[in-house]
Amino acid sequence: MNQKQGLWLTVLLLVLIVAGLVLCFLQLKKFTVAQGQLQEEEDLLAQEETKLSALKLLQQRAGEWEKEQEILLLQLPFTAKEEQFLLDMQAAADLAGMDLLQVRFAERMEREEYTEMPLEMTLTGTYYQLLDFFAYLEAYERAVRIHELDLDKGSEDTELTVILNLSIFSAPE
């Protein structure tokens, strides 16, 4: 009988060991799944923190952009004033030492908050004169956006022919 009990105890012990190993394996499997989920959650958290920091930065810049918008709106005259713009560009070209050859206005584009007037301007002068002209445009009281700049070498080595595609703006009519 002792042998039978010893056998039963051995079998029971083996069953318990196998059951323990199965339980350990299942726990290990659950642990690895939980670890994978934790890693996914940490990745999502990192992405959300990045988005949050970007939103905070945008919120900080919103005030700056509002101030810039106010400044730009102040640069929009209530009427188109094309004649005054032409006089100002002639004066800018003269101050820079350039020759203003041609100005061609394109069709106006009416927007909700402003009117855009595209134009093409042709000038001749040296590279340094062009830099002086751009400095004038940068300080100009009216909003100007340069879309395209084409440079061609003129008849003299230092002379350039400059074709500017730009836009000026005014308040909506």
Over the stretch 30-85, which tens digit does the pLDDT of each residue have?
A: 999 999 999 999 999 999 999 999 988 888 888 887 777 776 666 666 666 788 88
Per-residue pLDDT of 144-154, as tens digits, reads 889 999 988 86
Cα separation, 144 vs 100, whole angstroms: 17
pTM here is 0.56
Query: Does the pLDDT at position 9 exceed 70?
Result: yes
Query: Does the pLDDT at position 96 exceed 90?
Result: yes
Per-residue pLDDT of 108-136, as tens digits, reads 888 877 888 899 999 999 999 999 999 99
Residue 142: Cβ-neighbour burial (10 angstroms; 0-12, 13-18, 19+): middle
Q: Kindly give, in sequence order, each residue whose CB lies less than 8 Å from that of residue 82, ignoring residues fewer than 6 positions away.
A: 105, 117
Give strand pairing partners of 122: 102, 163
CATH code 3.30.70.60 for 82-170: yes
- Alpha carbon separation from 13 to 1, 3, 26, 114 (Å, rounded): 18, 15, 20, 88
Query: Does the pLDDT at position 98 exceed 70?
Result: yes
Q: Give the per-residue pLDDT at 158.
A: 75
